[in-house]
Amino acid sequence: MIIGAGPAGSVCGYLLKKAGVSCLVVDHATFPRDKLCGGGLTPKCWKLLDELIPGIQYEYNSITKIRLLVEQNHRCDFTAETELRLVKRKEFDHQLLELYKSIGGEFQQGSFLRYDEQDDGLVVTLKSGEQVACRYLVGADGSTSTVRHFLSGNRDNGFLILEQYVEKSPDNAIVVGMSKNYDMRGYYYRFPNSEFDAVGFGDESATPEKFRQVLKEKHIPETKLRGCHIYLKNNYPVKDRVILIGDAGGFANRVTSEGIKAAFETARNAAEAIKSGRPFREVNAAMFEKMRKEERFARFFYKPSTIRILGWLCHVPGAVKWCFDKALRPK
C-alpha cells in the first residue's frame, strides 16, 4: 500500500506492478491537482526517469540558459552543457499516475490515519474508517507526511518555501539568487515554464513578509503567494515494513532542496526492497549516506564566507559553468 500519488508514489507503484507485485496507491487529492514546485528536472533526474520508464513521453520546457545572482551586484550568465527540463507538476504528476493505472495499478482516494502491526504484515486504517491489510506500507505523501508523523510522533514539517506564478520572461532562463541576508539554505529562484514563470524563495525562517521583501528587491509584482514545506531530515525509525520515500523520507537535496530525482531513486529502491524481501535500510544505504554528506556540505555552502566567494566567482563565468555542469552531469 502506497500513500501518496506524486512522482515517488506513482513510480514506485509502476515499478512494483511491472514486477507483478499487487499494490494500491492512495491519495486524498483529485488528479490532476496543482503542486507548488519549480518543476525542474535536472539531467541526472530526467535520465534516471528514462531508465526507470523507457520511452516515457511528457511535455517540458527545455532550458540551457542559467543566471546566478549573488547579493545585489554580482551576476553570472552561462549555458549549461545539457538541458534542464521544466515541467508543469499538475500535468506531469497526473501523467505518472495514469501510467501506473494503465498497467493495472489500483488507485483510490483516501487519507491515511494509522497502521497497526500484525504477525504477517500491517493493517492500515484510513480516515474514512476503511481498513486494508498489506505486507508493506510506503509513505510517499510529501514533506507533511502523515505516515512519517505517525511513525515518529514528530510533527516537524521542515522549512517553508513560498512561490508565485508570474508572466513568462522572454529570455527563458533559470535564475537563482543567493545572499548572506538569507538564513540557512536560503535562495531565490525563477523557473520559466512553457506558459509562466514560477518565482520562489525559501530559507529556514521564511515568511510571507520576507518573500514580499525579496520580490520588492527584484522588482517583481506580487500575485498569489503559495507555500509548501521541505523536510530535510532522516531522524525517524527505519522499519522493514514501513518505508518512507521522496520528500516524506526527507530525501530532497540538502543544498538545492531539489526532490524529484530523490523521489525516483527512493521509489526504485523501495520497489527493489519489496520485490527482493531485503530491508529498505540496506537497499537504500547509499541514499542515507548521500544525505549525510550533503548535510555537511550544505553547512559549508551557506556560510556567509562561501556566499562572498560565489559573488567573486560570478566574475569568472567559466568556473561557475564548470562547477554547475560537473554537479549535474550524470555518471
Spatial contact of 51 and 44, defined as CB atoms under 8 Å apart? no
Measured from the Cβ of residue 327, the count of other Cβ atoms closer than 10 Å reads 11
**194-221 burial by CB neighbour count: b if 16+ within 10 A, else e?**
eebbbbbbbbeebeeebbeebbeeeebe
Q: Which amino acid, 227?
A: G
Count of alpha carbons within 13 angstroms of residue 2, beta-carbon side:
32
**5-15 burial by CB neighbour count: b if 16+ within 10 A, else e?**
bbbbbbbbbbb
Answer whether residue 91 shows pLDDT above 90.
yes
Spatial contact of 113 and 128, defined as CB atoms under 8 Å apart? no
Q: Label the pairing between strands 196-202 and 159-167.
A: antiparallel
- Nearest Cα neighbor of 206 from 146, 250, 163, 265 is 163
For position 100, what pLDDT does the model report?
97
What value, to the nearest 5°, has the Cα angle with vertex 19 and ends 14 and 24?
Answer: 50
Spatial contact of 266 and 8, defined as CB atoms under 8 Å apart? yes
Residue 169 is given by DSSP the state P
Position 313 confidence tier, pLDDT thresholds 50, 70, 90: very high
Span 61-90, average pLDDT: 92
Spatial contact of 97 and 107, defined as CB atoms under 8 Å apart? yes
Answer whether residue 331 shows pLDDT above 80.
no
Span 293-319, average pLDDT: 92
| Chain segment 35-74, per-residue pLDDT in tens | 777 788 999 999 999 999 999 999 999 999 999 999 888 9
Position 183 confidence tier, pLDDT thresholds 50, 70, 90: confident
Separation CA 117–CA 135 (nearest Å): 10
Separation CA 151–CA 166 (nearest Å): 39
C-alpha grid cell, residue 302: 551557506
Separation CA 12–CA 264 (nearest Å): 8
Answer whether residue 153 shows pLDDT above 80.
yes
Q: Label the pairing between strands 196-202 and 121-126.
A: unpaired
Residue 197 is given by DSSP the state E
How many residues in the chain? 331
Position 184 confidence tier, pLDDT thresholds 50, 70, 90: confident
| Chain segment 107-138, per-residue pLDDT in tens | 999 999 999 999 889 999 999 999 999 999 99
Is pTM beyond 0.85? Reply is: yes
| Chain segment 237-262, per-residue pLDDT in tens | 999 999 999 999 999 999 888 999 99
Distances in whole angstroms, Cα of residue 21 to Cα of each of 12, 105, 110, 137: 11, 10, 21, 13
